């Protein structure tokens, strides 16, 4: 049974015109009826429960299983609110959404040469130790096998990384030629890498250039000469790093900023935003 629900909410109540279509026979029978909800903007789960008569747990389950759409888009959050004019469709016989550490929707683009993935927060880009398979590169490989096609078993080539607690797009190479070309572009800085972060206080547009070292003087990675007074030039092993910082919007006690990288060093953004008077809240 499939329900198409058109939500039309006046200020005082919420009218749901539900078209119930039974498609077991060649002729589609459509019945319409109206119900009233107490809330002017009910949750998706409330709409599902009202129209199907299922228990709350099942109503929420239909959402998380991918069997509910809102205005044509799959809605996985049963607590999201339904605004006036919204169309909610419920298909209890729709295929159940496959769940895992990385959703299929995380793959933004792929072809025979590359795959672009939306990395979530809290996931390693690559293994931090031998044998660790809980990584973005491994989960992406698994999703590609599900999608099928040529080259699904080929090892993905890593050309850049994101910190575990940073989200954003990552590109993996699917062929040796693609890996070589992408590595060259990253090395020559012809690829733009842009990040957003929230920083305490007011931040002005600036360019930060430092030399990063593994030990800034207290055992932590940082910029040479910023934690302790420098003694001569930066060590040979110090890596030059450059970040262009531009404010996007002022927040209460903080600033949303854009960080454009010239170089891509480990923890570069966090270090450059943790300079005098600046501290990263979230990135």
Contact between residue 235 and residue 213 where contact means Cβ atoms under 8 Å apart: yes
Contact between residue 14 and residue 46 where contact means Cβ atoms under 8 Å apart: no
Which residues lie below 8 Å from residue 147, measured CB to CB, with a gap of 6+?
Answer: 104, 107, 110
Q: Per the structure block, which two tokens stand in for 229?
A: 């007074």
Q: Residue 163 catalytic?
A: yes
Pick the closest to residue 208 from 177, 231, 238, 242 (CA basis).
Answer: 242
Contact between residue 41 and residue 70 where contact means Cβ atoms under 8 Å apart: no
Count helices and strands (H / E) in the chain.
5, 16
The residue behind tokens 């049974």 is 1
Q: Could you tell me the strand order of the sheet in which 107-110 lies?
A: 107-110, 114-119, 168-173, 157-158
Contact between residue 38 and residue 57 where contact means Cβ atoms under 8 Å apart: no
Determine which one of 77, 113, 138, 163 is catalytic: 163
Instruction: Please identify every residue annotated as catalytic.
Output: 163
């Amino acid at each position: 049974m499939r329900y198409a629900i058109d939500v039309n909410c006046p200020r005082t109540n919420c009218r749901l015109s539900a078209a119930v279509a039974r498609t077991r026979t060649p002729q589609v029978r459509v019945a319409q009826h109206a119900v009233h909800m107490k809330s002017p903007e009910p949750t998706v789960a409330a709409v599902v429960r009202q129209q199907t008569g299922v228990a709350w747990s099942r109503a929420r389950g239909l959402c998380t299983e991918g069997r509910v759409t809102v205005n044509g888009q799959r809605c996985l959050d049963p607590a999201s609110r339904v605004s006036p004019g919204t169309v909610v469709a419920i298909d209890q016989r729709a295929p159940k959404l496959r769940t895992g550490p990385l959703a299929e929707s995380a793959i933004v683009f792929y072809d025979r040469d590359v795959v672009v993935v939306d990395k979530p927060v809290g996931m390693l880009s690559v293994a931090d130790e031998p044998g660790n398979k809980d990584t973005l590169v491994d989960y992406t490989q698994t999703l590609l096998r599900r999608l099928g096609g040529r080259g699904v078993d080929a090892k993905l080539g890593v050309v850049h990384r994101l910190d575990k607690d940073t989200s954003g797009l990552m590109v993996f190479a699917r062929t040796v030629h693609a890996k070589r070309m992408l590595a060259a572009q990253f090395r020559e800085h012809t690829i733009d890498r842009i990040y957003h972060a929230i920083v305490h206080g007011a931040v002005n547009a600036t360019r930060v250039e430092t030399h990063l070292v593994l030990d800034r003087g207290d055992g932590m990675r940082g910029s040479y000469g910023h934690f302790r007074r420098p003694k001569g030039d930066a060590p040979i092993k110090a890596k030059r790093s450059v970040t262009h910082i531009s404010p996007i919007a002022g927040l209460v006690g903080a600033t949303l900023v854009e960080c454009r990288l010239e170089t891509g060093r480990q923890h570069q953004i966090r270090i450059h935003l943790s300079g005098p008077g600046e501290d990263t809240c979230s990135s």
